[in-house]
Structure formats: structure tokens, C-alpha cells
Chain A
Amino acid sequence: MAHSEHHHHSHSEISNTSAPSYFDVMEAAVQELLIEKGLIKPGEIRRQIEVLDSRTPALGAKVVARAWIDPEFRQRLLENGRAACEELDISFYDDTQLVVLENTPRVHNLVVCTLCSCYPRPVLGLPPDWYKLKPYRARAVYEPRAVLAEFGTHVPDDVEVRVSDSTAMVRYLVLPMRPESTEHLNEEQLAALVTRDSMIGVVPALNSDGGV
């Protein structure tokens, strides 16, 4: 640590480049050693970074919008989430299955991973920090309505809250309800209404007037 701080101070006046942190150095060292030993190839890491960069909530939004306009696709999506996403050329780069949880006027779904940070990365990208931190993980399973309220979502008493604790080989994606007054919108415009948080289940999808 002292070593890298020394670099940082001695060069900071003339360069914005700050010394790599201890953990940054450790990551680089592990990677180099594994490459030298022939266990992984440098191109694999670069390629996987491209894979990660290409996965954003826009993919999940595309899936949701399609399900809103195409009832048969919606049916296939609810039966086998992974296969339906693959129809839209969204590949699953890992061994995970995808279960799509449909919100209805009677049911509100919420996804959490209490043990770590399981998340449908192929369709949403990497999770936000709050999803990985203790308050959300600890509380979502025993006071989901209070947690939802902190996101501004008030679920009426006659709507059943279903919390999915995602801990194994299945990942969960919430299919939010299509907001009202969106009949005139095309698929692309509908996709623009679908936020990441609505697919985690902490907020509803809203129309352009902010209505559900």
C-alpha cells in the first residue's frame, strides 16, 4: 500500500493517472499468471468484457415489450424464459435458466438474492450496488412492502406480494404490467417505458404521464 501511495503522490501533479490499488494489482497479477501457465487466454478476458458491456437492461426491455404486444410470445416466455429470450437473439452465456414472473392486478413480484447477488445478467447486465448490499438483501424477504415503499411503490393489501429469493441455478425477471394509455405506442416506444428496476420488481412500468 505504502508503495503505491508513494507513486500516487510523486506523480499526481503532472498526471491524472493514479496508482493502481492493491486489488487492481492483484487482479492483473492473477490474470497474467494464469495466462503464462496456459490456463486461460488473454483474448478470453477481452471477449468476456465485451460480452458484459453488451448486456444492459435494454435487452430485458425488448423482451418485455414483445411480451406486451405478442400474446403467443408472452406465453412462450412464461413457459421457458431462456428459450424465449434466445428467440430474440439474446444468448445466455452461462448455465442459468430464466424464469419470468408475471405481474398482474392480483400479484406483485419482487426479486432478491439474500445469499449473494444472483441476477439475470444475460438480459439485464450487472446489478446495481443497492441490489448487492445488506439493506435490500436482508429486508426484502421479511418486509417486502416496506422495501417497496422506499422505492415509492405502494402495493394494495389485496394484491399478493411474491418475493423470489434467487439462490440457485435459476434467475428471475419480472414482467411488469403494461401501463394504461399505451395502446398507440409501437414496440420500440413501449420498450422505452421498461426500466431495469421494473424488471427487478421494485417499481412498476409507467406510461409517459407517469401512470401505471
Chain B
Amino acid sequence: MNELSQNDLSKSEQPVAALGEIPAFGPGDQVRILTRSPIGHYRVPSYLRGQRATVLSVVRPRAIDNEEEGYGKNAGWKGYYYRIAVPMASIWSSYNGSSSDRLQIDIFETWLAGE
């Protein structure tokens, strides 16, 4: 036991982050909003499901998954929201505007996959 804790001390220069503590994505990352159809509660509008997006920033502090918060979960595990941008022209095939127009939204991490 003694030997082990001494070893631990000597190795402890680099703290290990807990699962989910470090953001999975950073600014500039390409992500995809997942296509799924929850019932009861969600905060990812239907019109954005399946879209490819660019991460603009990580929203801090971490927060409870709002799908769970909607059923009264007020404490416990928290995760990140990411502010992302999606080109209007890729959401709406008949988009009538400039090709650089875009939609921005905050999406919880359980809805995003890396590209």
C-alpha cells in the first residue's frame, strides 16, 4: 500500500480529466447533427436534424442535458453545448439569399458526431 501511494505521488504531474470533462469538439471542427426522433422532449429543432455544421465555440459552463432537465433532473452529470454554424443553403434547398448566410444554434453534445 505504502509503495503504491508513493508511486502515485511521483506520477501525478498530469491530472487525468474525468469522462466528459474536456470538450469533445473545438472551434473549427466539422460535426454532424444526428438524425434521431425522440418523443416527450427535445431542444434540437427538426429542421436541423442530419445537418453538417462547423463548431464556432464551446459554451461554458457545462450544463445538464435539457432533455433530462425537462423531466425534473436538476443536478448530476453535466455536458457541453456547442455553438455551431450551418449554411442556410444546405438546410433549405431553395434558399433565397446569399450563399454565405448561415444559421447559428447551440446543440448539446449528445446530438453531435465528429466528421
Let me know if A143 and B105 touch, CB within 8 A.
no
> Which partner residue on chain B sits nearest A95 by CB separation?
B63
Let me know if B101 and A162 touch, CB within 8 A.
yes
Cβ of A168: which chain B residues have Cβ within 8 Å of it? 43, 59, 63, 66, 81, 106-108
Counting chain A CB atoms within 10 Å of each CB, which of B47, B83, B91, B100 scores highest?
B100
In the complex, whether B92 has a CB less than 8 A from a CB of chain A is: yes
Cβ of B98: which chain A residues have Cβ within 8 Å of it? 157-161
Let me know if B59 and A142 touch, CB within 8 A.
no
- Bin chain A's interface residue count: 20 to 34
Give the distance to chain B from A180, nearest Cβ to Cβ, in Å.
24
Given A142-B92, A143-B96, A158-B98: A165 touches B103 (CB 8 Å cut-off): yes
Let me know if A163 and B97 touch, CB within 8 A.
no
> Which partner residue on chain B sits nearest A80 by CB separation?
B60
In the complex, whether B15 has a CB less than 8 A from a CB of chain A is: no
Counting chain A CB atoms within 10 Å of each CB, which of B47, B59, B63, B105 scores highest?
B105
Cβ of B60: which chain A residues have Cβ within 8 Å of it? 97
B83-112 residues with Cβ-Cβ distance < 8 A to A are 83, 85, 88, 91-92, 95-98, 100-108
In the complex, whether A146 has a CB less than 8 A from a CB of chain B is: yes
CA distance A115 to B70 in the complex (A): 14
CA distance A185 to B85 in the complex (A): 37
A141-187 residues with Cβ-Cβ distance < 8 A to B are 141-146, 157-170
Given A167-B45, A169-B59: A145 touches B105 (CB 8 Å cut-off): no
> Which partner residue on chain A sits nearest B107 by CB separation?
A168
In the complex, whether A195 has a CB less than 8 A from a CB of chain B is: no
Chain B residues packing against A (C-beta within 8 Å): 43, 45, 47, 59-60, 63, 66, 81, 83, 85, 88, 91-92, 95-98, 100-108
Subset of 9 A-B contacts with CB under 8 Å: A141-B91, A142-B88, A143-B97, A146-B96, A160-B98, A161-B98, A163-B104, A166-B106, A170-B59
